[in-house]
C-alpha cells in the first residue's frame, strides 16, 4: 500500500536519527564548527539556539518538510483567515484578533468582530484609568485601589503570570490579588487583610459555570455585604468578565459591569481579552497595549516566516522530534528570570490543555505521541532542586531555557551570575563529566586514592542531554507579549503536526461531572451509585474523620 508523503518523510527522518545514534552531541559540535550558526535562528531580537538538540541541519530541513506535508501552511492560513480550526466545537480561534494593531475587518459569521473588540478595550481602559487615577469610588465614596481577581485556568494563569512579570510597572497604590482554587484557604488568606470599601472583585469566567469561581465569587460578595452593609451599592465593587452575559446578569452583576468575551477565544488563549483587565489595572493601559503589540509582532513573524525560520514552528518541531523520534516525553521549561516565575505554569496549560489528547481532529486515533509532559520553574532556583535529576537522573527530559539578557534591576554583576548559570547548566547537560575527568580532578586536588575510588562514580555526569536556549533582550510588556504569543502558536503548530484539535478541552469534563456526586455524598447524601470501591471507601473515611 502506498504510504503518505508525511510517512515517507518521517521514515527518512528516522533513518537520519539512527545515523546519529551513539554519537555524543559534543562530537556533532566537534565535526561541525558552524553547528551553532547553522542551528540557531533570530527573529525580532529573539535568538533560538537548537544546536544542543539531537539533530542536524538536514533533520531540521526534513522536519520542516514534514510540517509542510502535514498541512502547516494551509492550517496557518485557516487560523489567520478566521476559519474553523476547532472542529469539535465548530469555532475559529481568534486570540490573534484581540491584539490587532489595525482595524481591518475580521469576519465571524459575516460580522466584523473588530468593533466589538475595540469597544471592550475602551471599557477596559476606562476602568484601568479610573482606578489608577483614584476615580473609581466604592460604596462609601473611597477610591477603589485593590483588586481581587477570581478565576481559574485560562481565566487566571495568564493575567496572574503577566501581573507578576510586570511588577516593575505597577501603578502606584494599586494592589492585585488572584484567587483561583476553591479551597477556602485561598480566599480566606486574601480577604481579611483588605478594606472592603476599597476592593473591586473581578469575577472572571468565560462560561460563568465554573464551580470554583462561582463559589469564590459568592463568598467574596458575601464578605463585601457583611462589611459594607446589606443595602450597600455593590455595583462599584464587582465586575464580571464572561462570554455568558445572561449568567453574569442572573448572578446579580450590573449590566454596565459585565465585560464580554467571545466563544472564538479559548480560555487559555484569552490573556489579550478582558481577562487581561487586572494586568491593565496593575500595570496601566499603556503597558497592556504594549503587551498586545508584542504579541502582534510575534503574530506577524509566525504568519510570514518560512518554516525553517519560524520560531513557533521550530519549537513545536523540537518537541515533536523529542517525543516521537527520541521518545523523550518530558519537557522542562526553565526561565532564568524571576519576572517569569509563573511562566512555566502558564505554558503548561497552553500546551498540555491544547495538546494533551489522543484522538485526531478527524475522530480517529492520532498515530503520534502528543504533547510532552510540560513542567518547570525558574532558574537559578531550580538548579537547587530538579536539576540534580536532569543531570544525573536515569530518565530523559528535554530542557527549554528562556533567558532574558538584561534585568530591569540594573545590577550587572548578579545578572551575569544568572546568565552564566543558565549557559553553564546547558553546557553541563551537553558535555557531562567522565569518570576519568572526575578521578583526575580529585587526584589533582590531593584526594586520597581510596576516596577517589569510592566517590568518583557518584560524581560522573552522563551528559549528552538536550536543551534549547531562547535568548531575549529582557522582560517588559512588549517582550512578554512576544513570548506568550510564541508559545500559543507553538501549541497550535504541535497540534497541526500531530493532527489533533488544539482548541477544545473535553478532557476536563468527566472529573467535573463525577465531583457533583461525590460532593453530594460528602454533604450527607447517598453514595454515588457508580463509584468504585476506592471512592466509596474514601468518602466513608472522610465522614469518619469528620465525625471525630
Q: Which residues bind ligand F6P (CB under 6 A)?
A: 152-155, 205-207, 210, 213, 267-268, 353, 505, 508
Among 178, 353, 187, 210, residue whose Cα is nearest residue 277? 178
Q: Residues 6 or more apart from 273 whose CB is under 8 A from it?
A: 95, 98, 120, 241, 261, 262, 265
As a whole number of angstroms, the distance between CA 17 and CA 237 comes to: 59
Could you tell me the smallest distance in angstroms from the CB atom of residue 402 to ligand F6P? 23
Q: Residues 6 or more apart from 368 whose CB is under 8 A from it?
A: 320, 324, 497, 498, 499
Return the bridge partners of 107, or none: 112
Could you tell me the smallest distance in angstroms from the CB atom of residue 258 to ligand F6P? 14
As a whole number of angstroms, the distance between CA 320 and CA 60 comes to: 12
Chain position carrying cell 468565560: 206
Among 318, 446, 352, residue whose Cα is nearest residue 154? 352
Among 44, 101, 93, residue whose Cα is nearest residue 310? 44
Q: Which is nearer to ligand F6P, 405 or 514 (CB)?
A: 514
Q: What are phi and psi of 179, to 5 degrees?
A: -125, 120
CB 261 within 8 Å of CB 113: no
As a whole number of angstroms, the distance between CA 22 and CA 479 comes to: 39
Could you tell me the smallest distance in angstroms from the CB atom of residue 353 to ligand F6P? 6
Q: Which is nearer to ligand F6P, 344 or 397 (CB)?
A: 344
Q: Which is nearer to ligand F6P, 155 or 425 (CB)?
A: 155
Could you tell me the smallest distance in angstroms from the CB atom of residue 199 to ligand F6P? 21
Could you tell me the smallest distance in angstroms from the CB atom of residue 456 to ligand F6P? 48
Could you tell me the smallest distance in angstroms from the CB atom of residue 166 to ligand F6P? 21
Could you tell me the smallest distance in angstroms from the CB atom of residue 111 to ligand F6P? 23
Catalytic residues: 353, 384, 512
Q: Which is nearer to ligand F6P, 217 or 397 (CB)?
A: 217
Q: Which is nearer to ligand F6P, 511 or 529 (CB)?
A: 511
Locate 304 and state its grid cell: 510570514
Cα radius of gyration (the chain): 26
Regarding beta strands 258-260 and 238-242, do their DSSP bridges make them parallel or antiparallel, or are they unpaired?
parallel
Chain position carrying cell 483587565: 277
As a whole number of angstroms, the distance between CA 108 and CA 93 comes to: 10
As a whole number of angstroms, the distance between CA 294 and CA 269 comes to: 15
Could you tell me the smallest distance in angstroms from the CB atom of residue 161 to ligand F6P? 13
Q: Which is nearer to ligand F6P, 210 or 476 (CB)?
A: 210
Terminal CA-to-CA distance of the chain, rounded, Å?
A: 68
Q: Which is nearer to ligand F6P, 149 or 287 (CB)?
A: 149
Q: Which is nearer to ligand F6P, 40 or 207 (CB)?
A: 207
For every residue of 398-412, which 3-state class applies, written as one string? EEEEEEECCCCCCCH
Could you tell me the smallest distance in angstroms from the CB atom of residue 266 to ligand F6P? 7
DSSP single-letter state for residue 90:
T
Q: Which is nearer to ligand F6P, 154 or 379 (CB)?
A: 154
Among 255, 288, 254, residue whose Cα is nearest residue 132? 288
Q: How far is CA 508 from the centre of its chain?
A: 17
- What 3-state class would DSSP assign to 193? helix
As a whole number of angstroms, the distance between CA 427 and CA 468 comes to: 11
CA angle 256, 152, 302 (to 5 degrees): 90
Q: What are phi and psi of 89, to 5 degrees?
A: -110, 5
Amino acid at each position: 500500500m502506498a504510504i503518505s508523503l508525511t510517512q515517507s518523510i518521517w521514515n527518512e527522518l528516522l533513518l537520519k536519527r539512527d545515523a546519529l545514534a551513539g554519537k555524543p552531541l559534543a562530537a556533532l559540535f566537534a565535526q561541525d564548527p558552524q553547528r551553532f550558526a547553522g542551528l540557531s535562528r533570530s527573529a525580532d531580537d529573539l535568538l533560538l539556539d537548537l544546536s544542543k538538540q539531537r539533530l542536524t541541519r538536514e533533520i531540521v530541513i526534513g522536519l520542516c518538510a514534514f510540517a509542510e506535508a502535514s498541512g502547516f501552511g494551509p492550517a496557518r492560513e485557516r487560523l489567520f483567515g478566521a476559519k474553523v480550526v476547532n472542529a469539535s466545537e465548530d469555532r475559529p480561534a481568534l486570540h490573534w484578533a484581540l491584539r490587532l494593531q489595525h482595524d481591518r475587518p475580521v469576519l465571524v459569521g459575516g460580522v466584523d468582530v473588530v468593533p466589538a473588540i475595540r469597544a471592550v478595550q475602551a471599557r477596559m481602559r476606562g476602568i484601568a484609568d479610573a482606578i489608577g487615577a483614584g476615580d473609581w469610588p466604592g460604596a462609601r465614596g473611597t477610591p477603589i485601589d485593590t483588586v481581587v481577581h477570581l478565576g481559574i485556568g485560562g481565566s487566571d494563569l495568564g493575567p496572574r503570570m503577566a501581573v507578576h512579570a510586570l511588577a516593575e510597572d505597577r501603578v502606584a497604590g494599586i494592589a492585585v490579588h488572584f484567587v483561583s482554587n476553591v479551597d477556602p484557604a485561598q480566599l480566606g488568606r486574601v480577604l481579611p487583610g483588605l478594606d472592603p470599601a476599597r476592593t473591586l472583585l473581578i469575577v472572571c469566567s468565560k462560561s460563568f459555570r465554573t464551580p470554583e469561581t462561582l463559589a469564590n465569587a459568592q463568598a467574596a460578595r458575601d464578605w463585601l455585604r457583611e462589611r459594607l452593609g446589606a443595602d450597600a451599592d455593590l455595583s462599584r465593587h464587582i465586575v464580571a468578565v464572561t462570554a455568558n452575559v445572561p449568567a453574569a446578569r442572573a448572578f446579580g452583576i450590573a449590566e454596565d459591569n459585565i465585560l464580554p468575551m467571545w466563544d472564538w477565544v479559548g480560555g487559555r488563549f484569552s490573556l489579550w481579552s478582558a481577562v487581561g483587565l487586572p494586568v491593565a489595572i496593575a500595570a496601566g493601559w499603556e503597558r497592556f497595549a504594549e503587551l498586545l503589540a508584542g504579541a502582534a509582532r510575534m503574530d506577524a513573524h509566525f504568519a510570514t516566516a518560512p518554516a525553517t525560520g519560524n520560531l513557533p514552528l521550530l519549537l513545536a518541531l523540537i518537541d515533536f522530534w523529542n517525543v516521537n523520534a527520541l521518545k523523550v516525553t518530558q519537557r522542562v521549561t526553565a526561565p532564568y528570570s524571576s519576572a517569569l516565575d509563573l511562566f512555566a505554569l502558564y505554558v503548561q496549560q497552553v500546551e498540555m490543555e491544547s495538546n494533551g489528547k489522543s484522538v485526531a481532529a478527524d475522530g480517529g486515533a492520532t498515530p503520534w505521541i502528543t504533547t510532552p509532559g510540560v513542567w518547570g520553574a525558574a532558574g537559578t532556583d531550580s538548579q537547587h532542586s530538579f536539576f540534580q535529576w536532569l543531570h544525573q537522573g536515569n530518565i530523559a527530559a528535554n530542557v527549554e531555557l528562556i533567558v532574558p539578557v538584561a534585568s530591569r534591576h540594573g545590577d550587572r554583576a548578579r545578572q551575569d551570575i544568572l546568565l552564566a548559570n543558565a549557559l553553564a547548566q546547558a553546557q553541563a547537560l551537553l558535555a557531562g563529566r567522565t569518570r576519568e575527568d572526575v578521578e583526575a580532578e580529585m587526584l589533582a586536588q590531593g584526594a586520597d586514592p581510596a576516596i577517589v575510588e569510592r566517590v568518583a562514580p557518584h560524581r560522573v555526569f552522563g551528559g549528552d542531554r538536550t536543551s534549547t536556549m531562547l535568548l531575549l533582550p529582557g522582560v517588559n510588556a512588549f517582550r512578554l507579549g512576544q513570548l506568550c504569543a510564541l508559545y500559543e502558536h507553538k501549541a497550535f503548530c504541535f497540534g497541526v503536526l500531530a493532527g489533533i484539535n488544539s482548541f477544545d478541552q473535553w478532557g476536563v469534563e468527566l472529573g467535573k461531572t463525577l465531583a457533583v456526586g461525590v460532593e453530594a455524598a460528602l454533604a450527607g447524601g447517598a453514595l454515588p451509585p457508580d463509584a468504585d470501591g476506592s471512592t466509596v471507601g474514601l468518602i466513608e473515611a472522610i465522614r469518619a474523620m469528620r465525625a471525630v
